[in-house]
């Protein structure tokens, strides 16, 4: 009986901890652009909103060798893209990762990303006190953003 109570308490703590992380970072409108056969790079988009100041420090996926946060911006008539080591998210402000702007670059794809499939992501973030948490999501693969 004692073991059952301990297991129940552990499970309850895990559920509360997961709900707390999910409450801290809300992810919506996530999608991944389909790729052509042989293409080794892809892109993912989503809207991130946090109820506290946090910083996304790492993103991983089940379909890639690595994921990077990138920014695209027009500079002197030339589109430039650069990797961001992290992505600060101010509390209460939605941050869009979208085509032509900030996005996730998926490198070393293990297979083509076909419309109708899904991609799993794990986002790692930390708060202003340095506490690290993770959140998992699944994003549909689409031929376009529609």
Q: What is the pLDDT of residues 26-48, one digit of tens each?
A: 999 999 999 998 999 999 999 99
What CATH number has the domain spanning 2-142? 2.60.40.1890
Can you give the residue ranges of every domain in the chain? 2-142
State residue 114's pLDDT score.
Answer: 96
Q: What is the pLDDT of residues 118-128, one digit of tens each?
A: 999 999 999 99
State residue 34's pLDDT score.
Answer: 97
Closest CA to 89 of 43, 122, 47: 47
Q: How far is the C-alpha of 76 from the C-alpha of 70, rounded, in Å?
A: 19
């Amino acid at each position: 009986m004692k073991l059952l109570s301990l297991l129940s308490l552990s499970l309850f703590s895990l559920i509360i901890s997961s709900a707390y992380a999910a409450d801290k970072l809300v992810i919506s409108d996530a999608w991944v652009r389909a790729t052509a056969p042989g293409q080794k790079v892809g892109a993912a988009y989503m809207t991130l909103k946090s109820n506290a100041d946090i910083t996304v420090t790492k993103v991983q996926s089940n379909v890639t060798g690595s994921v990077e946060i990138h920014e695209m911006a027009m500079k002197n008539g030339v589109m430039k893209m650069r990797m961001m080591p992290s992505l600060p998210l101010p509390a209460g402000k939605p941050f869009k990762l979208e085509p032509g702007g900030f996005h996730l670059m998926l490198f070393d794809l293990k297979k083509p990303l076909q419309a109708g499939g899904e991609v799993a992501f794990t986002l790692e973030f930390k708060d202003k006190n340095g506490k690290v948490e993770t959140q998992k999501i699944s994003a549909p693969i689409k031929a376009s953003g529609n």
